[in-house]
Structure 1
């Protein structure tokens, strides 16, 4: 019996069990049966912890340290070694492995490997991936775990994105310095906030309709904005933060018009298609002056408050009334959304022929006066 502190100067050899009521503290190494020294049987500490300066186990494969559970090849918490593989395992499919700091009774978890459910690993905090032999990132496999189908990581030091080995390459990237985003650039730094490759075709699909597509495309010297069917419109306007939209202009082929401006149009010039080769059934304008005399020129003010969406100009104006013009020259009047409008340019030929008729009447009067003298 040793009462108090006992010191063994050489070695302690037991033929059976070694029982320690307190702590067993080893200043050197504890080497297992397959190491350089022999420990007969199992060592069990019933009281406090086993404090070991270093622990070395023999060089063989299989279960090496059992922390909790059965012995041998039964399921357990512990460590094992297979060829080129260090294993850490728990004893059942519904158990997890956690990493953190503190102790078993006051444990702060930082990461967890989960053996069931949708997630395989959970982190408390951020995950930092460092560059190894290639750029930092991680691969995603297919459902069968048979091949890598996508990579998320760095294309270069300042370019992060998504990579597809099946042909997409670096299909989506972002510059971490200026936040420019590139689509389809294959790792080339995007020059603008949103950049596309120098290729022709449809660039953005906004809505796949049943008969067409709503989107934006680039073709030979052409920026194309398109709707999905022949009766659809492309609208231009402003919208408030509350979602209230005010339309300023629209492109729509409705049989009468292809483009509408809800307000005044300021242009440096305009040209109308008038090539004779485009026309047929050409006839002179009859009774031009008589018809012109039936058209009334008036002064008026637009109902700007009642029709605010039309963006009418305020103040006194001169013009014609569409209903009046329609009775005389119906070709110059068109209708949209139930309201009529006048194509003033179509009245020019009527004015020209009216002036000719006036000229002819003046010449006749001159000749009559000359004959009376």
Structure 2
């Protein structure tokens, strides 16, 4: 019954269709009564095809331009998508194409000798100004304590470099980079895993008492959250503590458990495209996400290597640029010697499972 005019309505055969950018802000009682269809945003390759076959021809017609009067090649269109838009749809992309068409039309109308405008990288910058957005790129050389992770955002995937610095101190763990609670918990889990496996990894078991550890994710003004940085944080931490560099051409994503298991994540398609854009050659992904590889475009899969991993041991095997056995003697990590008491002074422990 309408509360304003007190008129009854029969809504039994009415279906309401609504849209939302994120689901976590919808009240839970309402969400439980809805059927939710998750529609992913367009990838860069999809935006490029939409621009070529639909948006650009439409804007040319709207601005009175013939097909040959404005020429934009595929490389410049991709530069437009990457440098001047950051969205899940194509609304801003169409606005930028409209701006280019207006400027081209003005040039052609103002000069009778100009029959066509060719937009290259320089002309794009002249028309639209400097690039408005930037994306992470692969490191130029192998780094110690710096690992490339992959992130999903509402406007697509991106790369992020997780940095770890170890300093003499008293065991303080510092996390910076505007991290959410879930990512902070992932960092704590990675730290605990490293402590539990310190001897096997060639790390002084007392490292947490002798050093302060700082974990930082750059671009600190941007909020970051989610569990999929777990193995990335663990790899960066182990790299810093063992003084072993990480292969710059490797990126990774996956949640970590205290026992070192790698759990599945979401957004693999978007993350893989971000890695491809950044020049990454190898992506480490959770074993359970192997089925999602079919969603990645063939053009990307053919140029990259995807390695499913189930445990941190596999992650370290593929990510580290050097193995422990390959380090020069002067670079061997310090491993603490555990002093055992004399035979007669040893205390017998109760059998497992009795306490």
TM-score class, shorter: under 0.3
Taking structure 2 as the reference length, the TM-score comes to 0.19
Q: Which has the higher helix share?
A: 2
Taking structure 1 as the reference length, the TM-score comes to 0.19
More relative contact order, 1 or 2 (CA 8 Å, 6+ apart): 2
Q: Which has the higher strand share?
A: 1
